[in-house]
Amino acid sequence: MADSPIYTSLLGQGAFGIVLKSILSCEAESAVKFIFPNDNDERVKLLREYTVTKGLEKHANIVQIIDMEEERLYRQDIEEIFHNLPKTEQIKTLKSTITKKTKGYSIQSIRIKMELCGQTLRKWLNESLNGNDLHIQIRQNTMVQNLITGLKYLHDNKIIHRDLKPENIMFSKGRYQLPVKIGDFGHSRKIHSEESNTGGLLTTGVGTRSYMAPEVRHGNYSYAADIYSLGLIIWEVVQLLGDKRNIDFDKLVYDKKEELVEDHVIMIGIRNIIISMSRRTVEERIGLEEIDFSPWNDNLSKIIEDQGCKFLWDCILNSSKEFVVRTNTQLKLALDNAVHGCVIRLNEAVYTGRFSLLEDKISIIGQGSRSLLKFGDAMSLNIYGDEISISNIKISVAKYKAKYCLRLDGSRNVIKDVEFSNGEAEYMLMVAGDDNKLETLAISESYGGIYVTGQNNTITKILMDNVRSIGIFIGYGSSDTKISDITLSNVIQGIIVNGSKAHISKVKLTKASLDTSSLWNKPQRYIGLVVYGSDFKVEDINCSDYSRITNDWGMIINGGSGEITDCFGGSIRIAGSNVKLINVSCGELLEIDNDAKDVTLVSCCGQKLMSIIKPVMMNNQFELIVIPLRI
């Protein structure tokens, strides 16, 4: 294997060991399984079984074993393996457990490098799926053919899997990209010619009970045991059995309740195939070579032609890296089936509904100037993936007090050239991930603006007009937020910062003149900037027309350990500790209240300075200075 791989995430864990995502600069990403045998007998067995598939040619429906090696891991090796993994409690516990196994020296390991795949079939089955949805029906047809083709390939190469179950079947990439692949060959073994037909004496009880053929319990079994397991899996895929699957399995196999098995709108005859594959008696089971896909394919072609759903077929097959959508249905299908690197182009149209994107590295681009996402309830576009780009679209939400309109839960996403308007959501845009960039956005005629939490997010080149609540809200727990090149006009509360290490620069705030009587029972005061967080930096802010005559503040600084420079602040109130103002015009009033400590003023000016403490002052110009302030 290549030297010095970097392990970036935990893909799985179990009694066998751990599976990590591995990156090498000169290779594609891969999955690496570390197995720690308990004794030499187990070591020999694992080496034999995982060697079974190593020499196979690459197949679309089989997870490829790229390489395998046996090695001793020392404490330093374990440190290097875990060095780049997230520092979660789960991973810390795993690291500690493996380190203890070294007993102060080393531990025997088997490292298996495999093709990196997506989610398991079990995870897909656990989703809330609608079996009457044509999208699901076409996927079911494709998945069943993938599974039969993959198992036939193993059997043609004299390999019996012995532990077929949805947990050992993987989607190709991302979440649920087809085709599906059979993986995890820890129980696999070669079948000799004398064992292939009548069965041979093999290890009893191998596999998972729910999917285990009856004959496996006695040790006299062969390929037909896999066919039995696959029959139950296919039934689960076709009929979406859910949590009652184990009860239904027993009823079908042992009570012969064949009426439980239903046919499929595309795979006509699959009912009889499932029943035949899962017969209790080996001799009654159908062979894989007897299953003919052509009637299903003909039926599917007819459905696609009759219903005009080639777009759906293209989405499911992921046959294109670019989708041009024109309707709500097409947009939902594209988002559900998008894969890494895919571009979704929105034709000029109005798209309504609730949408979500779970995949990574997708671009959503509006075509022309009239690509509008129009929503009526909360969180109508949710982005859960990482490295998503959204640009050149318009978004509005109509429902009063909906929580959010567009939400980013992933990281390293970019939202650019997007217009938000006519929105009654509490916030038009919510950001909850890290390292996201919001750039060249316009928000107008809305209730709320932008809500950001997370680490190292950037907000730049924002125009905001007529916002009846908060323009930009930086939430608790966030840090290193960068806010720059912002113009806020008629925003009641401009920017509120609760997180630490915020850097705010080049902001122009014009005091609101909105009628808010329908929203509050009492008159509202208007505030340009409020800082509660620590270690902040504020520079080049202009909120000069916020007046104390109407009980407004240009700035309220309650946070500590911060610096404000080169600002036209309007009236300013300081209640934090270790705050320094340099070259700040304070308008009608600079008030330093009794909670403030260690305030420094350098080259500041204004009409009036009122303070209950004595700040450090250098080269300031105030028309009136009142120290101490009497309450």
In the structure encoding, which two tokens stand for residue 566, read together? Answer: 């080169």
Are the C-beta atoms of 179 and 61 separated by less than 8 Å? Answer: yes
- Relative to beta strand 450-452, strand 482-497 is unpaired
Q: How far is CA 327 from CA 133, 134, 333, 373, in A?
A: 17, 17, 10, 11
Q: Detail the DSSP E strand segments found in 292-388.
A: 322-325, 343-346, 349-352, 355-357, 363-366, 371-375, 381-383
SS3 203: coil
Are the C-beta atoms of 447 and 422 separated by less than 8 Å? Answer: no
Q: Let me know if 532 is exposed, middle or buried by CB neighbors in 10 A (0-12, 13-18, 19+).
A: buried
Enumerate residues 6+ apart whose C-beta is below 8 A from 267: 140, 141, 144, 238, 296, 299
Which residue carries 């299903």 as its tokens? Answer: 296
- 179/141 Cα distance (integer angstroms): 11
- Residue 432 amino acid letter: A
Residue 313 Cα to chain centre, angstroms: 25
Are the C-beta atoms of 462 and 485 separated by less than 8 Å? Answer: yes
Counting Cα atoms < 13 Å in the Cβ hemisphere of 208 gives 16
- 208/74 Cα distance (integer angstroms): 33
Report the candidate in 355, 421, 351 with the shortest Cα–Cα distance to residue 388.
355
- 303/202 Cα distance (integer angstroms): 46
In the structure encoding, which two tokens stand for residue 489, read together? Answer: 């006009």
Enumerate residues 6+ apart whose C-beta is below 8 A from 183: 62, 63, 114, 117, 168, 169, 170
- 350/539 Cα distance (integer angstroms): 40
Q: How far is CA 518 from CA 164, 246, 462, 515, 523, in A?
A: 63, 58, 27, 8, 11
- 381/630 Cα distance (integer angstroms): 52
Radius of gyration of the chain (CA): 32
- 436/67 Cα distance (integer angstroms): 37
Q: Give 3-state DSSP helix, strand, coil % of the chain, rounded to 5.
A: 25, 35, 40
Is 522 annotated in a binding site? The answer is: no
Annotated binding-site members for ATP: 33
Annotated binding-site members: 33
